[in-house]
Amino acid sequence: MTNMLDQVFVLLKHRIVGLVPMPVQPILGAVLSVVAILAVFPGLFAISVLLERKGLGRMQNRIGPNRVGPLGVLQPVADGIKALIKEDLVPYSADHVVHFLAPVVLVVVVFMGYAVLPMGRNMTFVPMDAGLLFYFAMGASAELSIFMAGWSSRNKYSLLGAMRAVAQMISYEVPLLLSSVVIVMMTGSLSLDKIVEVQNQYTWGLPHWFVFTPMGFAAFVMFAIAATAETNRSPFDLPEGESELVAGYFTEYSGFKFAEFFLGEYVAMLSISGLGATLFLGGWSAPLEILNVVPSWFWFFAKIMVWICFYIWMRGTFPRLRQDQLMNFAWKFVLPMTLLNLLVAGLWRFMGEGWLRWVVCSAILLAAYVLGGRIGMRSKKFGPRSYRYAE
């Protein structure tokens, strides 16, 4: 019974695909998977927008949207209708073709990333040998579309926002990749399915997730920071800093195209949470061995939603960084720490089994983080702000 429930989507797909003649079957299978991805993630997008608005409201001591539907749960629907029926304005001097292409490219590229994420047991759209590389290749292509949006709008705020976004994304992509390399070193594979399989083992009922190893935990922290910056979320949301840049690179977008950017942003957030969950939190594997009765896909989506709630919490808590602090933090703290982490992962590999490697690796990482953090806090570059003129 649990097995049936676990594989319910896979079986359903097989059943539907079996209805058509043989040559059409692979095409129909692909179409079904694409439709499923295109249906599920925008749905999750609506839920996370609602969660964010309600949760942020609570954190800021207000109620949040409460007019549409019971307790305001239909707010995303209302937002969607509003975005669709608004007039689509294009600035007179904008570069029309590029202006039109930018949101399309963004949404397409962001959705392509889902092709390699294992969303449950046997639930990867394209089980690719170089899945992780594919994911990062798609993530890197999103930068160009953001530049296209900012540049084609012929608006200085858009351009500034786009340049900030691109500079930030390119800087944080390096630690993002390097912190994932640790996991690749530990599994010896770039395939995300393989990475989940390695983590889906239990000792005394506890899972072998990479977040529970010293360098896995360090990589997880760095990955979470880099992922937040990569998706332009608060506290790294300078590209769309409302107080300075109106809305950043999508200032000149309205109606459906604006909705596309909004969707692209949240879907990218969901997908990078999915990647983080896959790499560090065991993907679809259950947190305890006895919880394996719950279907695997449930765990994957639960982990994504937990990650999203964490994002919302951070947004409600931290103040925004300054541009120079952001860059210094990326290049002078996160990057050296991820490089050290790679070294420690190599050490872990060569120290063999036993408790000694746990002690040594944890000690090195802890010492480095404490030392780096202390020195960093003391330097003016990314330490706490000092208000010289405020009394």
Residue 135 CA to residue 126 CA, distance in Å, equals 12
Least distance CB 164 / other proteins (angstroms): 12
Query: Toward other proteins, which CB reaches closer, 36 or 144?
Result: 144
Q: What's the burial of 356, exposed, middle or buried (CB within 10 Å: 0-12/13-18/19+)?
A: exposed
Smallest separation, CB 117 to other proteins (Å): 16
- Residue number, 13 or 194, with CB nearest to other proteins: 194
- Closer Cβ to other proteins, 101 or 314, answer by number: 101
Q: How far is CA 201 from CA 116, 284, 380, in A?
A: 21, 12, 46
Of 144 and 314, the one with the shorter C-beta distance to other proteins is 144
In the complex, the smallest distance separating the C-beta of residue 147 from other proteins, rounded to whole angstroms, is 6
Minimum gap (Å) between residue 166 Cβ and other proteins: 6
Contacts with 68 (C-beta within 8 Å, 6 or more apart), sequence order: 74, 75, 77, 78
Q: How far apart are CA 258 and CA 88, in angstroms?
A: 9
CA pair distance 346, 182, nearest whole angstrom: 9
Task: Using the minimum distance from each CB to other proteins, give the nearer residue, 43 or 188.
Answer: 188
CA atoms of 185 and 192, how far apart (whole Å):
13
In the complex, least distance from residue 97 CB atom to other proteins, rounded to whole angstroms: 9
In the chain, alpha helices (H): 2-6, 8-17, 25-59, 75-85, 96-112, 131-152, 156-187, 192-199, 214-230, 242-245, 255-280, 296-317, 323-329, 335-350, 356-378
Closer residue to other proteins, CB minimum distance, 191 or 296:
191
Nearer to other proteins, 165 or 364 (CB): 165
Q: How far is the CB of 287 from other proteins (least distance, A)?
A: 30
Q: How far is the CB of 215 from other proteins (least distance, A)?
A: 19
- Least distance CB 194 / other proteins (angstroms): 10
The footprint of other proteins (CB under 8 A) covers 98, 128-130, 133-134, 136-141, 143-144, 147-148, 151, 159, 163, 166-167, 170, 173, 188-191
**Other CB atoms closer than 10 Å to residue 7's CB: what's the count?**
19
Q: How many CB atoms lie within 10 A of CB 28?
A: 16
Contacts of 91 (CB under 8 A, 6+ apart): 99, 153, 154, 155, 252
Q: By C-beta, is 50 or 184 nearer to other proteins?
A: 184
Residue with Cβ nearer other proteins (17 or 128):
128
What is the smallest separation between the CB atom of 223 and other proteins, expressed in angstroms? 17
- Residue 173 CA to residue 299 CA, distance in Å, equals 27
In three-state secondary structure terms, 207 is strand
- Our CB check for other proteins shows the closer of 190 and 224 to be 190
The DSSP annotation for 68-111 comes to SSGGGTTHHHHHHHHHHHS-----TTS-HHHHHHHHHHHHHHHH
The angle formed by the CA atoms of residues 52, 54 and 60, to the nearest 5 degrees, is: 95
Q: How far is the CB of 137 from other proteins (least distance, A)?
A: 4
Phi and psi at residue 121, to the nearest 5°: -60, 125
